[in-house]
Amino acid sequence: MGEILILTRVPRLLIGLVLISIELSSLSGSPARGQAGSDAGASDEEYEIYSAVIKQYYVDDKTKLLVIVDRTFKYDFGDNEEPWKDKYKGLIIDRSTVEDYEARNVRPSLLNKAPFKLTGKFSLISDLDLKAIFHGSWGELQWIAYYRRFAESRGFIMLSRIGFNTERTQALLYVGSRCGPGCGDIHFLLLEKTNGTWTTKKELKKKNMG
């Protein structure tokens, strides 16, 4: 099985939006070879990882409501600039992990509320609802309208499908949020499974806006 050094990168933030490309057609493309077709829904294992990562980044003692976008988003790291080449020299990502991430994120997948393992209050929001609120603009008036509907939330969370290696011991995941004009974050994670537990091995990309 081939392995590759992490010689890829997340492209420059198209905060208008790679983060939330409401025009989902931008996520189309030629499918990559992978373990699972992109039309397959997220697995229970993916929901387990989603829940753990959301708790890690977005849940604290002040959290009253989590809002999660009900369609997945691809965070594309296929570019030639390779900003991590020196910083993460020696970090190995299995080729099958990358291929599976690409295959699963060819197009958006719908997420369901029931499989999430979140104990607090949370809701899913559709891309149609987001379009109705924001109309393609992320200004203060649009955010006022959003918080009228989700007053207890701190914005909304976006997730990619999760790419796994063949042995299902390594995974790639994008999770991000938007919470207002110039407010939000990006996390692109490499995870490892050890003794049956998924943990973050390296945060490959992190960006806080604002």
What does the alpha-carbon distance between residue 63 and residue 35 come to, in Å, rounded to a whole number? 36
Among all chains, which residue has been given the structure tokens 């987001």?
A: 130
pLDDT digits (tens, 9 = 90+) for 25-84: 333 333 444 454 445 689 999 999 999 999 999 999 999 999 999 999 987 665 554 444
pLDDT digits (tens, 9 = 90+) for 72-117: 998 766 555 444 455 555 678 888 998 999 999 999 999 999 999 9
Mean pLDDT of the chain: 81
At 67, list the tokens.
């809002």
Instruction: pLDDT band for 204, please (50, 70, 90 cuts).
Output: confident
DSSP annotation of 50 reads H
Helix runs in the chain, H state only: 44-58, 95-104, 127-134, 140-149
pLDDT at 138: 87
pTM of the predicted protein model: 0.79
What does the alpha-carbon distance between residue 35 and residue 41 come to, in Å, rounded to a whole number? 13
What share of residues in the chain are helix, strand, coil (percent, to 5)? 20, 30, 50
Indicate the domain borders of the chain: 3-22+41-209
